[in-house]
Amino acid sequence: MTPLTSLDRPNSYIGRSVPRPNAKRLLAGRGRYVTDIRLPRMLHAAFLRSPYAHARIARVDVDAARALAGVHLVATGADLAKICTPWTGTLDHFKGMTSEPQLPLPLDRVVWAGQAVLAVVAESRAIAEDALELISVDYEELPAIVDLDAAREPGTPRVNPAGSSNICFRAQLDSGGVDEAFASAAHIIEEEFSFGRHTPVTLEPRAIVADYDPDGGMLTVHHATQTPYQFQDLYSRHYRIPEARVRVIAPDIGGSFGLKLHVYHEDMAVVGLSILLGRPVKFVADRLESFVSDIHARDHHVRARMAIDADGRILAMDVHDATAIGAFSTYPRTSVVEGNQVIRLIGAPYDFKSYRAALEVVFQNKVQTSQYRAVGHPIACAVTERMVDLAAARIGLDPFAIRAKNVIPDDAYPTASPTGYRFESLSHQVCLQRLREIMDYDALRAEQSELRQRGIHRGIGIATFVEITNPSPAFYGVGGARISSQDGATISLTPSGEVRCAISVTEQGQGTEAIISQIVADQLGLAQEHVKVITGDTEVTPHGGATWACRGAGIGGETALQAARKLKANILEIAALVLQEQPAALNIIDGEVVNAATRQPRLAIAEIARIAYFRSDTLPPGTQAQLTVSHHFAPQGYPFAFTNGIQGCYVEVDADTGFIKLLKHFVVEDCGRIINPMLVDEQVRGGVVQGLGAALFEECRYGETGQLLNGSLADYLVPMAMEMPDIVIAHVETPTADTALGAKGCGEAGTAAASACVLNAVNDALAPFCASINAVPITPARVLEALGRF
């Protein structure tokens, strides 16, 4: 007989793979996405978009469009500027940062090809689009700054004529000792890297229905977003509607990954259009609009140097990251967080002292970039891990051996990175060992060399990573952003003895509602099906940060845990009065109050609810049963809960065609306490595949005039089932001591290291050819170019 574990306790759900209760609806086609919503008297918006990357709007003629039957409104930038205050995507803690103020629609200048210029609201989307055809706009073209390097050159025309240069932000880090370390190094590795732009491509595009009721002065927005509270605050402030009269509802969301937490001009405009018309207005970006108006991400050029000693120990790193972000910085989270994380995460898994980095964030005439899954991580990881592999090759060490020599030892915690990140407890050494086992590394190497004899070129790549999760107010709050790092829950025992938990973290399919119900059921002592979780409505749950930066389990989960413990204490207090016992002598198991020592059932919690709600007269005088509890939790202690892990992959490169086949992928991941192992694995797999897409396929390609050349799902390649490998996952659990739950995050882990891994594997495969690639995505053309065959 296997020994009993904590999972054998009744109602123990923490650590258990249970299916998501809310997934059945989606499987039956009963999801309710914003795309599906239809309200009475609802109208539809469509936007005329700029064909130029940079131009002055000289003249606009909308008369014919206004006259078309079925058209209710044609709105210009000036119309919306009358009711909406401008926004600026800067934060105070990014010293010296600049960005142009933004309005829903431009007044006189467009700054990227695809920018919304005018809005039409009509009885159907089709009529609105017909009306767009009737609008004529005269543009005077201005010089478009497209390329990242061109934008940085002195004397280049400015993206914003009012600005003094194309620089949005600069930052520097220097731990000291860098020059000395390089002077004394046995070897110096130098490399340049480039990372293309890509975009989240959620399958459900951005969607919003704004519904302004002029009589009640009440705005309701059905918004496909991760962060309803952030938008409640923004709509309230920019349209000057009291916050309590703004309600944002995020129903089922068809994927987000960071895409749906930024302010988009069209979304702000739709709110204004509804206010101007006093009717519900809907806008769903079609796929072509998504490509030119959703945030993009990455777009970095990195120069890196690494100093190592004769034994292969890393002594120092010196890096420069230049990144281009579009014509302005995204609101309210800015477009500089990615670069900032790149320079702070480079080298993070390794034990060395001397680090210097410079970051340069520049404007260009393209759509805005901002936070997308694993912000900055894939770039920091690819640069670091490729440099480590180059160092290993220089001195003839195996990739595992050089990492084993350099990772921060598991017994060295707490410690800090040379960039100032404080690490509570990471597990690089044990992860490295686990990866070696699950890959069966030695056998793979043997197979690789045997196949090489036969002209088959396989490569093995590994990449360690550190992931940032559970951010404290140090992330946005200190910079003045009204983005909460705390969450809140209201939890009730209902009159029939069930539990209802309304919580501010949100669901986009990752399983937030499932894990919250697991935690609540576990802590209160009842079956999971008796817990109903409600998310995504600012009118119903307390204010909170919602779901981003992997905070759902760590912060949301801890909020639910603490709220459930409070409610349990209140239930037991009433039970103790009814049973004439001490609360400490009682417990709850399976919805029954039991004797804590003997587990003998005494009274159903439904009975306590009945008495408290309907027969309070039978309770001792002065008793006020509190069967609803509201509770907030803000992370304290470490500013971030760092997690870590390592990935490996096995690829085959066709040296004649440049095609890369992904054979197998491996992940060892430490996200702290695991609440639902199946959901964690699925987060990791989904994340890996997004990283693999970035590694091999995904790139927003622009022409010289700033036109996006591949802005459709037929032209922009995304990873499909056929090209993706099976992914083997193993876990190490190092819970954080900052919370009772001990959970950190796992949503970025897969994406963080997947492209680094593939980059190393492809270079490993190309080693016999003395060819090297340091650009992502690794397209067949780049492979052939590296092989000198193109």
Partner 1 sequence: MSSDIDEAEEAVRVRFIVNGRKVACEVAPRDTLVDCLRNSLELTGTHAGCEMGACGACLVRLDGRAVHACLMFAVQADGARIDTIEGLSESGDIADLQAEFHRRNALQCGFCTPGMLINAHELLSRLAEPSRAAIRDALSGNFCRCTGYEAIVDAIAAVADARAAKASQKGSPE
What are the tokens at 84? 């909406």
Question: Interaction with ligand FES in 54-113: which residues (CB under 6 A)?
Answer: none
Compute the distance between CA of residue 572 and CA of residue 581 in angstroms, rounded to an integer: 10
How big is the chain by its Cα radius of gyration, in Å? 28
Please count the residues of this chain forming the interface with partner 1, following the rule CB under 8 A: 60
Q: Choose from ligand FES, partner 1, none: what does 30 bind? Cβ within 5-8 Å by kind.
A: partner 1
Query: Does residue 552 interact with partner 1 by CB under 8 A?
Result: no
Minimum CB separation of residue 777 from partner 1 in Å reads 17
Q: Choose from ligand FES, partner 1, none: what does 35 bind? Cβ within 5-8 Å by kind.
A: partner 1
Please count the residues of this chain forming the interface with ligand FES, following the rule CB under 6 A: 3
* Binding window for partner 1 (CB under 8 A); candidates: 490-498, 504-512, 553-561, 655-663: 504-512
Q: Choose from partner 1, ligand FES, none: what does 678 bind? Cβ within 5-8 Å by kind.
A: partner 1
Query: Does residue 721 interact with ligand FES by CB under 6 A?
Result: no
CB 510 within 8 A of CB 524: no
Cβ closest to ligand FES, residue 254 vs residue 459: 254
Cβ closest to ligand FES, residue 204 vs residue 558: 204
**Stretch (H or E) spanning 489:** strand 487-493
* Binding window for partner 1 (CB under 8 A); candidates: 201-209, 349-357, 360-368, 590-598: 201-209
- Of 734, 174, 150, 766, nearest to 413 by C-alpha is 734
Compute the distance between CA of residue 531 and CA of residue 648 in angstroms, rounded to an integer: 39
Residue bearing tokens 């709220």: 563
| Pairing label, strands 660-670, 726-731 | parallel
Cβ closest to partner 1, residue 358 vs residue 678: 678
User: What does residue 702 show for φ and ψ, rounded to 5 degrees?
Assistant: -115, 150
Residue bearing tokens 């990014």: 94
SS3 of 97-147 = CCCCCECCCCCCEECCCCCEEEEEEECCHHHHHHHHHCCEEEEEECCCCCC
- Of 502, 419, 264, 389, nearest to 766 by C-alpha is 389
Q: Which of 240, 709, 726, 737 binds partner 1 (CB under 8 A)?
A: 726
* Binding window for partner 1 (CB under 8 A); candidates: 434-442, 460-468, 560-568, 712-720: 712-720
**Stretch (H or E) spanning 578:** helix 557-579
Question: Interaction with ligand FES in 375-394: which residues (CB under 6 A)?
Answer: none
Q: Choose from partner 1, ligand FES, none: what does 31 bind? Cβ within 5-8 Å by kind.
A: partner 1
Query: Does residue 679 interact with partner 1 by CB under 8 A?
Result: yes
Query: Does residue 529 interact with partner 1 by CB under 8 A?
Result: no
CB 258 within 8 A of CB 201: no
Compute the distance between CA of residue 285 and CA of residue 411 in angstroms, rounded to an integer: 51
Query: Does residue 725 interact with ligand FES by CB under 6 A?
Result: no
* Binding window for partner 1 (CB under 8 A); candidates: 15-23, 136-144, 415-423, 519-527: 15-23
Compute the distance between CA of residue 713 and CA of residue 723 in angstroms, rounded to an integer: 16
- Of 220, 212, 226, 202, nearest to 285 by C-alpha is 202
Query: Does residue 689 interact with partner 1 by CB under 8 A?
Result: yes
CB 382 within 8 A of CB 756: yes
Compute the distance between CA of residue 766 and CA of residue 769 in angstroms, rounded to an integer: 5
The upper half-sphere exposure of residue 113, i.e. CA atoms within 13 Å in the direction of its Cβ, equals: 21
* Binding window for partner 1 (CB under 8 A); candidates: 158-166, 228-236, 490-498, 506-514: 506-514
Strand boundaries in 517-657, DSSP class E: 531-534, 586-589, 592-595, 601-604, 628-633, 641-653
* Binding window for partner 1 (CB under 8 A); candidates: 146-154, 249-257, 359-367, 545-553: 249-257
CB 670 within 8 A of CB 643: yes
Cβ closest to ligand FES, residue 201 vs residue 468: 201
Sheet holding 531-534, edge to edge: 531-534, 499-503, 487-493, 628-633
Cβ closest to ligand FES, residue 77 vs residue 552: 552
Minimum CB separation of residue 509 from ligand FES in Å reads 5
Q: Which of 509, 525, 635, 672 binds ligand FES (CB under 6 A)?
A: 509
Q: Choose from partner 1, ligand FES, none: what does 787 bind? Cβ within 5-8 Å by kind.
A: none
Q: Choose from partner 1, ligand FES, none: what does 353 bind? Cβ within 5-8 Å by kind.
A: none
Cβ closest to ligand FES, residue 233 vs residue 682: 682
Cβ closest to partner 1, residue 658 vs residue 750: 750
CB 123 within 8 A of CB 57: no
At 7 the three-state DSSP class reads helix
Q: Choose from partner 1, ligand FES, none: what does 26 bind? Cβ within 5-8 Å by kind.
A: partner 1
Minimum CB separation of residue 211 from partner 1 in Å reads 18
Question: Interaction with ligand FES in 235-294: which residues (CB under 6 A)?
Answer: 255
Query: Does residue 196 interact with ligand FES by CB under 6 A?
Result: no
Query: Does residue 721 interact with partner 1 by CB under 8 A?
Result: yes
The three-point CA angle 91-262-420 to 5° equals 45
Residue bearing tokens 């009885």: 123
Compute the distance between CA of residue 632 and CA of residue 705 in angstroms, rounded to an integer: 50
What are the tokens at 2? 């296997």
For residue 226, CA distances in Å to 27, 70, 536, 583 come to 21, 33, 8, 40
Percentages helix, strand, coil for the chain (3-state, rounded to 5) are 30, 25, 40
Q: Which of 16, 56, 245, 287 binds partner 1 (CB under 8 A)?
A: 287
* Binding window for partner 1 (CB under 8 A); candidates: 197-205, 397-405, 442-450, 550-558: 197-205
Q: Choose from ligand FES, partner 1, none: what does 435 bind? Cβ within 5-8 Å by kind.
A: none
Compute the distance between CA of residue 503 and CA of residue 553 in angstroms, rounded to an integer: 12
Interface map 63-82 toward partner 1 (x if CB under 8 A): -x---xx-------------
Cβ closest to partner 1, residue 30 vs residue 240: 30
* Binding window for partner 1 (CB under 8 A); candidates: 77-85, 323-331, 490-498, 709-717: 709-717
- The answer to whether the bond into 51 is cis (omega within 30° of 0) is no
* Binding window for partner 1 (CB under 8 A); candidates: 214-222, 358-366, 638-646, 711-719: 711-719
Minimum CB separation of residue 690 from partner 1 in Å reads 7
Q: Which of 28, 69, 162, 203 binds ligand FES (CB under 6 A)?
A: 203
* Binding window for partner 1 (CB under 8 A); candidates: 268-276, 563-571, 622-630, 688-696: 688-696
| Pairing label, strands 314-324, 354-362 | parallel
CB 764 within 8 A of CB 460: yes
Which residues of this chain interact with partner 1, rule CB under 8 A?
Answer: 19-20, 23-33, 35-36, 38, 64, 68-69, 126-127, 130, 134, 200-205, 252-255, 257, 286-287, 508-511, 678-679, 682, 685-690, 712-714, 718, 720-722, 724, 726-727, 750
Which residues of this chain interact with ligand FES, rule CB under 6 A?
Answer: 203, 255, 509
